[in-house]
């Protein structure tokens, strides 16, 4: 027998095919089972290279976040009997994640981030006996079977933030023997929730939020009658409010003279009278009568007055105002008048020059007619003997009865040479 155990240890440590235990894990034997402890190594996956013959596999205190479908079956961990995945970050588990674990008996998923699991999640683990789901976040549970398993005996739902327990929650757990519902947020529990658990032997309901009402008292009586191991929560009868008041009023008190207890002297009264009769200074009286609202309004009025006076002084200084009506600066207007006067003088000079001295400027335009030949003798040419120049032609003849055309503006005048 001892030789057989030694042979198993040698085969597991050295590996049949030369497989070795990874450095992140500790491989040994536990009650005749091949055990691999890969604890607190920041592991993110279940595949650490552990030999496939492992039977007790612990991956607690790591950072595994999810379990994919057929993850154990694809690696070859089909001999697992105990699996510890506690204190990880698992928030999602595939419906067939535990497929192939036909020999799994104990599963620990405590202290993870599970909010919901399918009711038939453990359909592929027919031999599952103990399931630990404590310290997860099953805040709200539906009125349907939480789990469906025919051989599950131990279920731990401690500290799962459960608020209510619907009536159909445990309808599909016929062989459940131990149930832990302590440290949740449940305040009341009815008997019909636990009636489907016909083989229940022990239940834990430790909680400070229980209301010892008629439903909960009936539940405790039913648990006691069924012979279930249970620590009673409503041990003492809670007194009514009226009973508390009566117990307080029973003891009568005697009247006590205040002068015998308090330190009351006439000196304090005299000083108080003196303080009340003390004359008030004008500043103190002003401080008492003048409220903060009045001071605020007065400050606004003073500010407006100062602003108006300052504005008037500024306008009088920089705008040369008379009765708050500012006059326009005279420089532009004088410049415009000077230019207009200069233009008028130029027009007048042009007209007067054309009248007084018409030969020096452009003559007045008349209607032109055909020029008549001049009968005067031709002018002699200079430098060419025997050649005479044609006489000058008269450009226009002035008709006395015809009106004259006014001279054009000065900028349109031109000189004809």
Q: Give the per-residue pLDDT at 156.
A: 96
Beta carbons of 224 and 245 less than 8 angstroms apart = no
Q: Give the per-residue pLDDT at 273.
A: 47
pLDDT digits (tens, 9 = 90+) for 81-113: 999 999 999 999 999 999 999 999 999 999 999
Q: Give the per-residue pLDDT at 183.
A: 93
Give the number of other Cβ atoms within 10 Å of residue 397's Cβ: 12
User: How many residues are present in the chain?
Assistant: 417
Give Cβ neighbours of residue 121 (< 8 Å, ≥ 6 apart). Answer: 93, 95, 97, 98, 147
Report which of residues 104 and 291 the model is more confident about: 104
Report which of residues 8 and 380 the model is more confident about: 380
Beta carbons of 372 and 315 less than 8 angstroms apart = no
pLDDT digits (tens, 9 = 90+) for 176-198: 999 999 999 998 899 999 999 99
pLDDT digits (tens, 9 = 90+) for 252-268: 666 766 666 676 665 55
Give Cβ neighbours of residue 320 (< 8 Å, ≥ 6 apart). Answer: 326, 327
Q: What's the angle, vertex CA 364, arms to CA 362 and CA 370, rounded to 5?
A: 105
| CA dist list (Å): 242 to 211, 239, 250, 251, 381 | 19, 8, 12, 16, 155
The region that residue 32 occupies, defined by phi over 0 for left and psi between -120 and 50 for alpha, beta otherwise, is left
Q: Give the per-residue pLDDT at 234.
A: 84
Supply the mean pLDDT for the chain. Answer: 78
Give me the residue spans of the domains in the chain. 288-328
Give Cβ neighbours of residue 15 (< 8 Å, ≥ 6 apart). Answer: 51
Helices and strands, number each (H, E), in the chain: 9, 13
Give the number of other Cβ atoms within 10 Å of residue 357's Cβ: 9
Phi and psi, residue 197, nearest 5°:
-85, 80
Q: Give the per-residue pLDDT at 414.
A: 53
Q: Tell me the whole-structure pTM to 2 decimals.
A: 0.54
Region 278-285: mean pLDDT is 71
Start-to-end CA distance of the chain, whole Å, equals 149
């Amino acid at each position: 027998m001892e030789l057989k155990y030694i042979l198993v240890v040698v085969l597991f440590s050295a590996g049949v095919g030369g497989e070795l235990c990874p450095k992140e894990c500790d491989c040994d034997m536990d009650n005749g089972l091949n055990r691999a402890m890969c604890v607190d190594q920041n592991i993110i996956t279940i595949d650490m290279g552990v030999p496939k013959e492992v039977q007790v596999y612990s991956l607690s205190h790591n950072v595994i976040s999810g379990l994919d479908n057929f993850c154990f079956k694809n690696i070859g961990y089909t001999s697992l009997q105990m699996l510890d995945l506690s204190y990880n970050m698992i928030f999602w588990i595939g419906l067939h994640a535990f497929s192939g674990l036909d020999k799994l008996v104990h599963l620990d998923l405590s202290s993870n981030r599970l909010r919901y699991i399918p009711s038939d999640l453990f359909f592929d683990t027919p031999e599952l006996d103990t399931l630990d789901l404590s310290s997860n976040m099953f805040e709200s549970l539906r009125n349907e079977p939480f789990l469906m398993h025919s051989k599950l005996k131990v279920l731990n739902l401690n500290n799962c933030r459960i608020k209510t327990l619907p009536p159909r929650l445990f309808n599909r757990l016929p062989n459940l023997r131990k149930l832990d519902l302590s440290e949740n947020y449940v305040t009341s529990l009815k008997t019909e929730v636990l009636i489907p658990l016909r083989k229940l032997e022990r239940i834990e309901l430790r909680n400070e939020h229980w209301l010892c009402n008629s439903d909960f008292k009936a539940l405790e009586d039913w648990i006691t009658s069924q012979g279930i191991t249970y620590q009673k929560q409503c041990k003492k009868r809670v007194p009514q409010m009226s009973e508390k008041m009566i117990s307080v009023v029973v003891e009568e008190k005697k009247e006590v003279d205040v002068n015998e207890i308090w330190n009351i002297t006439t000196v304090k009264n005299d000083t108080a009278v003196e303080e009340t009769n003390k004359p008030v200074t004008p500043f103190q009286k002003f401080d008492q009568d003048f409220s903060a609202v009045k001071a605020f309004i007065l400050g606004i009025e003073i500010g407006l007055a100062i602003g108006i006076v300052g504005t008037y002084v500024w306008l009088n200084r920089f705008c040369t105002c008379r009765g708050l009506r500012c006059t326009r600066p005279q420089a532009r207007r004088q410049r415009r008048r000077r230019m207009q006067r200069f233009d008028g003088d130029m027009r007048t000079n042009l007209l007067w020059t054309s009248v007084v001295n018409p030969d020096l400027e452009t003559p007045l335009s008349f209607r032109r007619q055909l020029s008549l030949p001049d009968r005067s003798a031709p002018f002699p040419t200079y430098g060419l003997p025997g050649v005479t120049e044609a006489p000058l032609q008269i450009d226009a003849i002035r008709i006395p009865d015809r009106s004259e055309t006014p001279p054009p503006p000065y900028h349109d005048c031109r000189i004809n040479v």
